[in-house]
Amino acid sequence: GAGVSQSPSNKVTEKGKDVELRCDPISGHTALYWYRQSLGQGLEFLIYFQGNSAPDKSGLPSDRFSAERTGGSVSTLTIQRTQQEDSAVYLCASSLLYQNHEQYFGPGTRLTVT
């Protein structure tokens, strides 16, 4: 079946602009996660959703970052007033349930802030 999809695959934006990144999880998966990964680094957890609610926003780096999920499906990660340090690959993953279940990743969005 269809896997996790993300769009856009690449985004180049100017410092100070807002960006929206989109994630379509695997159909039927209730949990959705956002991570980011800088070049050569490990995964940095940002936020997860259980249904449409986000019980754990502990990883969001600043209040410029926000995310929402609607209809228990698509999620959008928004970064306002982008900074150069926001440049990274943003990965979305989904899992059937939240606790202890394996996660399946999308291909990521490579964000470059110039």
Partner 1 sequence: RKEVEQDPGPFNVPEGATVAFNCTYSNSASQSFFWYRQDCRKEPKLLMSVYSSGNEDGRFTAQLNRASQYISLLIRDSKLSDSATYLCVVNDSWGKLQFGAGTQVVVTP
The CA-based angle 96-102-106, given to 5 degrees, is 80
User: Does residue 90 contact residue 105 with C-beta atoms inside 8 Å?
Assistant: no
Among the listed residues 7, 44, 1, 46, the one whose alpha carbon sits nearest the alpha carbon of residue 24 = 7
Size of the site for partner 1 (CB under 8 A): 19
Nearer to partner 1, 6 or 82 (CB): 6
* Residue ranges in 19-78 that form contacts with partner 1 under rule CB under 8 A: 41-43, 45, 48, 56
Q: Find the length of the chain.
A: 114
Cβ–Cβ < 8 Å for 66, 75? no
CB of 33 to partner 1, least distance (A): 8
Stretch that binds partner 1, among 12-20, 61-69, 75-83, 103-111 (CB under 8 A): 103-111
Residue ranges that bind partner 1, judged by CB under 8 A:
41-43, 45, 48, 56, 89, 91, 98-108
